[in-house]
């Protein structure tokens, strides 16, 4: 049995409270991984195209003051 299938089996055996705790942990863990990925992409310049696009729109007068 592969590792994911083993995890799936264990998850199906959890009681409701344990399942809710796992779900909450998993959501937080996933969000943390996403935040780290975005930060790494930003630090490496992979998201610079977004900055340039936003500045170009602002310079073209397309943006609005908040």
Q: What's the CA gap between 60 and 45, in Å, rounded? A: 23
pLDDT digits (tens, 9 = 90+) for 29-48: 999 999 999 999 999 999 99
Q: From its phi and psi, is residue 64 left (phi > 0), alpha (psi between -120 and 50) or beta?
A: beta
Stronger pLDDT, 1 or 58, i.e. the higher one: 58
CB 55 within 8 A of CB 61: no
Please state whether the predicted TM-score (pTM) of the whole model is above 0.95. no
Domain boundaries, the chain: 16-66
What is the DSSP secondary structure assignment for residue 12, as one 8-state letter? H
Query: Is the distance from CB of 57 to CB of 49 less than 8 angstroms?
Result: no
CA–CA separation, 24 and 32 (whole Å): 12
């Amino acid at each position: 049995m592969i590792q994911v299938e083993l995890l799936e089996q264990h998850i199906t055996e959890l009681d409701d409270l344990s399942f809710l705790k796992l779900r909450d942990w998993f959501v937080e863990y996933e969000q943390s991984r996403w935040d780290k990925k975005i930060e790494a992409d930003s630090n490496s310049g992979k998201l610079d195209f977004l900055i340039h696009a936003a500045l170009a729109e602002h310079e073209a007068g397309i943006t609005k003051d908040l």
